[in-house]
Amino acid sequence: MLCPSLSPFVFLGLVSLASGRVLSARGGDVAVLDRWKPHDQVAVLQERASAGVHGELELRFKPWLNVGGGCFPYAAVDKDGNHGMGLRPTGDDDGDCGDADKGQLYARVGTSSGRTGIVYSWYQPKIQTDSESHKHSYSSIVVWVHSDKCDATADDHRVVGVSYSNGKDTYDTALSPGTLYAAGSTAGNTHPVVGHDGQVNVFPSRNGAEHALYPPLIDWDRLPPLATEQLNGMQYQHARCPFNDGNIQASLDAAFNADFYADLKAKRDDCEAETSTPAPLGTATEVDLECMKQGPASSPSTCPFSLVQDDGTTLDETDAEAILRHMTAQTFLRYVKGDRAALTDTCVFYTKGVTRAGAATGLSALATDWACRESQKPRYTIWNLFPNAFDASIHKGVRDFYAMFTPGSWLDPIRKKQQEFEKTQPSGVVPPSIRYFQQMSESMAEACFGKIIILTETPKELALYEPGKKYQDIRFNNIFWSHERPVLQRKVKAGEARLYALDANTKEAWEIVDVDTFQLGPSTKFRRDLESAYQILGTFEQSQVQARDNVCPRSGLASQPPGQDWFGSYGIAVNRAVAEEAALAFNEAASGRLTTEAFAALANKFNEQTGNETSTVTERQMFEWEAEKLANLSAAKEMLWEKAESLKQKKEI
């Protein structure tokens, strides 16, 4: 288990830059031979990694970058040694530096304390924040890798940690567990997805890799001589080139964290004497894998994903429909991380309706964080129980089960099918991605036993999450109601489980004494009295799942962008013109300018457009929904309930 460093902020020693060439100043910055070019005219160098295993490592673990603010990456130097002039830190923080095609990724492999790290750096022509504003800036990560093989190839290495720059002289080594890995041209998910929002630091991105940048990589040793000379001799007033000859070792030493390599030998004792014997021709290479614990006792399996289907045929990985047919709840059960003992009294489900403002945000993060950090014992949501990006990055043959929207992943055929679906949104058809998540959700319900917690904002009205009732719009289906609830009800009636409703806001809980009506019984307590972080970490170590996979910080939740809820509700969108007309009518009706007959006619039009029966959605439901969902009607949203009550009195809805 990789533990955060007690001192994640490591300071670099200041390294002075020197060159025998003539230097010329531009403001406070000094370039070799006065070689300057406008930042957007510096030509990007074609991708060239280092020779041999080092180059293979650079490409295997090449990071992807999500830019949420500030400048995009640019090339710092061209083949002739011309350096970008940079930009004055004025105007917008991304002003004149938003071209996604001008970037370059610099890479260099080195060691610290006998361990191998790969320094990756992006250059920006300016940085403009409240605390720091100047021309020229570098953002970097260091990917630390390990292999226990002699004469290891790049494929034999796995990531043990990622350090993120948080200033020109410091690195944060505590963020590593939150890193999301994307799939590329190599096997498995090996590419860290990094975020940059215009500040001095970079960090693990939570936005997935669909829109990430991956500019051409250039290794230090592959730079043209004049470019190397410029980066070695360039003297920045405020910035620092982290990978040049004068700074590379200081960067590696600052980014190193011994905890990344806890209990891992730098080199096998028998490597010197070992001689490699080639495998006979035609012999398949045995998979090198530390298997995760086998799944539930009712359906045991090992970690590597099997392409063999129940009928003995091989799964067609290019066919989205074939993947969806294969990934049933029973198939998911084979890959659950934890047996029945580990998943008894430890499961947390969550559900949120879609008729309240902000419903699209879901409860994923809140539920997972509570399960890991605030409950009396370690518990797990659906984001903890299946192989994720981290597992796939360090174990050969393992698939990231949360890579639904990661381009190039094994689930990419479903992602593309989902994109086609969204163009037409056929009525009555379950979206492809939801079909996948439905089966995953059902399998979790099958895997869990004992005391099971359901986190919700309205614990006393869980029965009203049925589509068409108070908390669930009739147009939308709810995965909890359709796929988790029936399994949990069956288990309670069979004496295999007891359900508890947990208030998402107060964390108060009640046992559900009637699983058909969701009637609540006496209150109980599942929340811990918060102790120190180290005491909590000590408790985590007592859990099989936590000890094996460090599931709290390394859950699959990083794959879901903020604002989404993959395991929540889904349905068809309402035509915007009808929605706007309905919202306008809401305001007119509330002020008494719309007759009851006109009001009812609009309700009928709304129901016809959504495919509902006229009696299904009341006028009040219609206007609640539209006023909440239209972002440009914030005033109606803020006064929603007051207007609704006034409308009810005037029009007797």
pLDDT digits (tens, 9 = 90+) for 561-603: 766 778 866 544 434 344 445 445 545 554 455 555 665 665 5
Please report, for residues 52, 305, 315, 322, 405, the alpha-carbon distance to residue 388 in angstroms, rounded to integers and kept in the order given. Answer: 30, 12, 21, 21, 13
Query: Is the same domain home to 562 and 474?
Result: yes
Q: Residue 506 above 50 pLDDT?
A: yes
H or E stretch at 348 = strand 348-350
- Least confident piece of the model among 23-32, 94-103, 596-605: 596-605
Mean pLDDT of the chain: 76
Point out the domain boundary residue: 239, 261, 283.
261
Largest CA distance in the chain: 92
Residue 268 lies in a domain: no
d(CA 291, CA 302): 7
Which pLDDT score is estimated for 472?
Answer: 61
- Domain for residue 284, yes or no? no
Average pLDDT over residues 341-359: 73
**385 falls within a domain:** yes
Q: Domain for residue 79, yes or no?
A: yes
- For residues 584 and 503, membership in a common domain is answered with no
Q: What percent of the chain has pLDDT over 70?
A: 69
Residues 514 and 589 in one domain: no
Instruction: Tell which of 508, 539, 571 closes a domain.
Output: 571
Where does the pLDDT of residue 502 fall: very low under 50, low under 70, confident under 90, or very high at 90 and above?
very high
pLDDT at 473: 58
Evaluate whether residue 189 is within a structural domain: yes
Question: Would you say residue 514 has pLDDT above 60?
Answer: yes
- What integer pLDDT is reported at residue 603 of this predicted model? 56
Q: Report the pLDDT value the prediction gives residue 73, as an integer from 0 to 100.
A: 96
CB within 8 Å of 262: residues ≥ 6 apart: 1, 2, 3
Determine contact, residues 628/356, Cβ cutoff 8 Å: yes
Instruction: Name, of 152-166, 525-539, 578-592, the range with top average pLDDT.
Output: 152-166
| Total domains, the chain | 3
Give 511-578 as a DSSP string: EEEETTTTEEEEEE--B-----HHHHHHHHTTSHHHHHH-TTTT-GGGGSPTT--TTSEEEPPPPHHH
Residue 451: pLDDT over 70? yes
Whether residues 337 and 451 fall in one domain: yes
The DSSP secondary structure of 464-528, one letter per residue, reads GGSTTSTTS-TTEEEHIIIIIHHHHHHHHHTTSEEEEEEETTT--EEEEEETTTTEEEEEE--B-
Specify if 119 maps to a domain: yes
The answer as to whether 287 is a domain residue is no
Are residues 545 and 515 part of one domain? Answer: yes
Q: Please tell me whether residues 540 and 608 are part of one structural domain.
A: no
Task: State whether 554 and 580 are in the same domain.
Answer: no
The token pair that represents 225 in the structure block:
């001589």
User: 3-class SS at 82?
Assistant: coil
**Domain boundary, last residue among 571, 587, 603:** 571
pLDDT digits 0-9 by tens, 369-388: 888 777 878 888 999 888 88
Predicted local confidence at residue 427, as pLDDT: 64
Both 160 and 199 in a single domain? yes
Q: Is residue 197 part of a domain?
A: yes
581 and 562 part of one domain: no
412-450 tens-digit pLDDT: 999 999 999 888 877 667 789 989 999 999 999 999 999
- Which is nearest to 335 in space by CA: 411, 386, 395? 386
Domain that residue 610 falls in: 576-651
Is pTM beyond 0.75 here? no
39 and 96 co-located in one domain: yes
Verify that 251 and 351 share a domain, yes or no: no
Task: Determine which of 251-265, 337-351, 480-494, 528-542 has the lowest per-residue pLDDT on average.
Answer: 528-542
Same domain, 520 and 623: no
- What is the pLDDT confidence band of residue 146, given thresholds at 50, 70 and 90? very high
Band (540; pLDDT cuts 50, 70, 90): very low
Euclidean distance between CA atoms 516 and 521, whole angstroms:
14
Buried b (16+ CB within 10 A) or exposed e, 123-138: bbbbbbbeeeebbbbb
Query: Alpha helices, DSSP H only, in 186-265?
Result: 225-233, 248-255
Overall average pLDDT of the 329-347 stretch:
86
What pLDDT shows up at residue 324?
94
pLDDT tens by residue, 48-63? 999 889 999 999 999 9
**Would you say the C-alpha torsion 638, 639, 642, 644 has a positive or negative sign?**
negative
Query: Who wins on pLDDT, 393 or 261?
Result: 261
Check pLDDT > 70 for residue 634.
Answer: no
Higher pLDDT, 555 or 219: 219
